[in-house]
Amino acid sequence: MAIYLAPMQGVFNAHFRKVAAQHFSGIDKCFTSFITTHGEDVYPERAFRELSVETGIPTIPQVMGNHPERLLILCRKLQDSGAREINLNLGCPQGTATSRKMGSGMLPHPEMLDEILDNLFSHLSVNLSVKTRLGLYKTEEFEQIVPILNKYPLFEVIIHPRTGKQMYRDEADREAYKLYASQLKAPVVYNGDINHWYDPMALEGTVMIGRGFACNPFLAESIVARKPVFDKGRLEIFLEALLEEYSQAYTGGEKQILMKMKEFWEYLYLAFPETPKLAKTFKKCQNMKTYASIVQSLF
């Protein structure tokens, strides 16, 4: 059994992962937010910023694109920089990606995926894995994806059993996950709606957690211990360390730092069910003085 941390855009940035690794245990591997391909062999430094911060946890770069040669250029750069595994994003549900046949938008086009994987496996020596949804419009789209994935020696296939159009609505389709997981040759990892330590999927095999960890950073520890773990004092120390890390890392001033902390609190407020309207309180917060007052009142 292993536990992976999902690449939650904006929330689980490199600085967050660095501080989280210092204060919580249980995460075995994490993934960066996707790096998208560009039209030329030039990538700005910011594209690889997520990999430049030492987090203390094995970190896998994730890539997203729809052009075989441009993806190969990007993956070669990552391989040359020392990456041992690269993850291809076939799951992003955002319309800006799906409209360009990227992320889950590629799933209705298995021939495009086949061409991309063939090109990558023909020219790279690094391990390649995939993070995918079960389709863009319907889960049955994955029936055409399984034979493509089985053509190649993928390191892992991480499945979030929703469609792209569902976004995060409705329940994850665990029965569909089990159906398609049984048909894949590569090792399969489950991702989706793991919010409690006693979740059967978390106790049965390797899983990826995302929003559940953002709501409760003790989730991975609880899964490993097979019992609830929550220490309010440790959480307070973590938040102080995270604020300090952001203050050192971001030079955009108070507003930028506040925005980063509020992004996390959009989920973490659920750890304080005894405090009604906490989410709204943070949403209205406009300066660090008010933020500090809110946090102080919680602890």
Nearest residue to 93 via CA among 144, 143, 166: 166
Whether residue 44 is predicted with pLDDT greater than 70 in this model: the reply is no
pLDDT number for residue 255: 94
Min mean pLDDT across 39-43, 64-68, 196-200 is at 39-43
Run of H or E residues at 59:
strand 59-60
pLDDT number for residue 50: 80
User: Where exactly are the structural domains of the chain?
Assistant: 3-225, 232-298
What digits encode the pLDDT tens for the residues 99-126? 999 999 999 999 999 999 999 999 999 9
pLDDT number for residue 20: 97
Structure-token match 């904006």, residue found: 10
Instruction: Assign 223 to helix, strand or coil.
Output: helix
Whether residue 41 is predicted with pLDDT greater than 70 in this model: the reply is no
pTM: 0.94
Q: Under a CB-based contact definition with an 8 Å cutoff, are residues 60 and 29 in contact?
A: yes
Q: Which fold has domain 3-225?
A: TIM Barrel (3.20.20)
228 to 162, 193, 209, 218, 257: CA distances (angstroms): 28, 17, 16, 8, 31
Nearest residue to 194 via CA among 180, 206, 178, 179: 206
Whether residue 39 is predicted with pLDDT greater than 90 in this model: the reply is no
Min mean pLDDT across 30-39, 73-82, 159-168, 245-254 is at 30-39
**Model confidence at 55, in pLDDT bands (50, 70, 90)?**
confident
Whether residue 49 is predicted with pLDDT greater than 90 in this model: the reply is no
Q: Where are the beta strands (DSSP E) in 124-176?
A: 127-135, 157-163
